Structure 1
Amino acid sequence: MSVTDRASSALAERMARARGALAAPARTARTTVVIGRLLAAAFVVCFLTGLYSHLLQEPLPGMRFPTWPGVYAFTQGLHVAVGIAILPLLLGKLWTVFPRLLLWPPAGSPLQLVERASVGLLVSSALLEPAIGLVNTYQWYPWPFPFRQTHYALAWVIVGSIALHVAVKLPTIVRYWRRRSIAHDRGVADE
């Protein structure tokens, strides 16, 4: 057995012990799906209200919007409130799937590698987007990039990443959309 095989075997054992230590009754595929659908709905609400704001500020040629009093204030209030609510939902979803980060090897095939990379893009952009949005509510800009354009571009990255993630995880989502967890479904093995 080569040095790399022994190291990989030792790492796999340690990762398995860590996953066992992190086991919790609430870390189920069902919990992940329930939080995920709330999180996806929240991102869609933020995306649509943000798109409305963007198109009001930079309308496409020939585009006109009615200017009803209070509509913009309502949509932006909803955008900010739901955007703040995304943070605990996102942390909850990450908590339910955290043991999946401890799989060894991290990807068993090129397809799994692409899937894990797309999840990495989704998670990083989903963490960054509400964080810079929250900082924006204080009108503090400690970064060198333009907030509005970056926030808008990240929104498209997130929506695309969510669509890809849902497509990949659709069998799991369908299986746990309405069904209650059963004892043998414990864990996020198929999530």
Structure 2
Amino acid sequence: MTEHVPRTALVDRLDAAIRPRAAHVQRALASPVRNTRMAVVVGRVLGLAFVVCFLTGLYSHVLQSPLDGIVTPTRPEHLYGWTQGTHVVVGSMLLPLLLAKLWVVYPRLFRWPPLSGVLSALERGSVAVLVATALVLPVTGILNILEWYPWEFSFRRTHFALAWMLIGALALHIAVQLPAIRAHWRRDDGDVVDGGVRDD
């Protein structure tokens, strides 16, 4: 007859097996530039790019689908062209910025335990939504520029809905990370971060 291992004993065994492996992976991926300071530096540029794209996209959407009672500016004459140009250029920059941010924070995927409570679960969930939408939006945007639509859904409606999801996830992520952002927004000569690696 097979013995049933109590749940706590099973959890303890799994923890004992996975914890050293997770620590080993984090050490193997360690780099002097993979720290909170660098995550904040890249994150603030990426966040600004998201906001610029969201606002210019919102302006474009309201022009194409006017809302009752909202009057949109039509002057200067080339305002729409400038906002759309900004949307396309900054939107195209999102991919390399996002890849840089993911490279910096990649070792954190192997943190153990993966969740330490409700706040941690909320953060991980918001990050999953943020990364997914941040990858889909610029890729579908670039395909829209090329006028190639290898999907069945409406590009404009889906792009607009995903933009709101991204901004919501970004706001939640910033709220959760605010203490780290405030601590590492500016570099001070005395700062020591992430395992003793100084920011240079």
Aligned residues: 188
Q: Report the TM-score, using the length of structure 2 for normalisation.
A: 0.87
Q: Report the TM-score, using the length of structure 1 for normalisation.
A: 0.91
Paired with 1:138 and 1:104, the residues of 2 have a C-alpha distance of 43
Structure whose CA Rg is larger: 2
TM superposition outliers: structure 1 runs of 4+ over 3 Å: 1-4, 180-184
- Deviation for aligned residue 1:134: 1.2
Of 154, 171, 176, the match for 1:168: 176
**1:67 is aligned to 2:70:** no
Paired with 1:74 and 1:184, the residues of 2 have a C-alpha distance of 42
Structure 2 gaps, min length 5: 1-7
**1:46 is aligned to 2:53:** yes
Give secondary structure in 1 for the equivalent of 2:15: helix
Q: Retained in 1: the 8 A contact 2:33–2:104?
A: yes
Identity %: 52
CA change 1:125–1:4 in 2 (3 A) is same
Please show how residues 87-126 of structure 1 align to structure 2 within 5 Å.
87-126=95-134
Comparing 172-181 and 158-167, the one that deviates more: 172-181
Paired with 2:185 and 2:134, the residues of 1 have a C-alpha distance of 22
Q: CA RMSD in A?
A: 1.9
Please show how residues 1-191 of structure 1 align to structure 2 within 5 Å.
2-68=9-75, 69-180=77-188, 184-186=192-194
RCO higher in structure (CA 8 A, sep ≥6) = 1
- Deviation for aligned residue 1:113: 1.4
CA change 1:181–1:8 in 2 (3 A) is farther
Q: Retained in 1: the 8 A contact 2:126–2:170?
A: no
Structure 1 gaps, min length 5: none
CA change 1:139–1:187 in 2 (3 A) is farther
Which letter does structure 2 place at the counterpart of 1:110?
A: V
Comparing 108-117 and 81-90, the one that deviates more: 108-117
CA change 1:115–1:181 in 2 (3 A) is farther
Q: Retained in 2: the 8 A contact 1:29–1:187?
A: no
Q: Retained in 1: the 8 A contact 2:19–2:112?
A: yes
Paired with 2:128 and 2:180, the residues of 1 have a C-alpha distance of 19
Comparing 51-60 and 62-71, the one that deviates more: 62-71
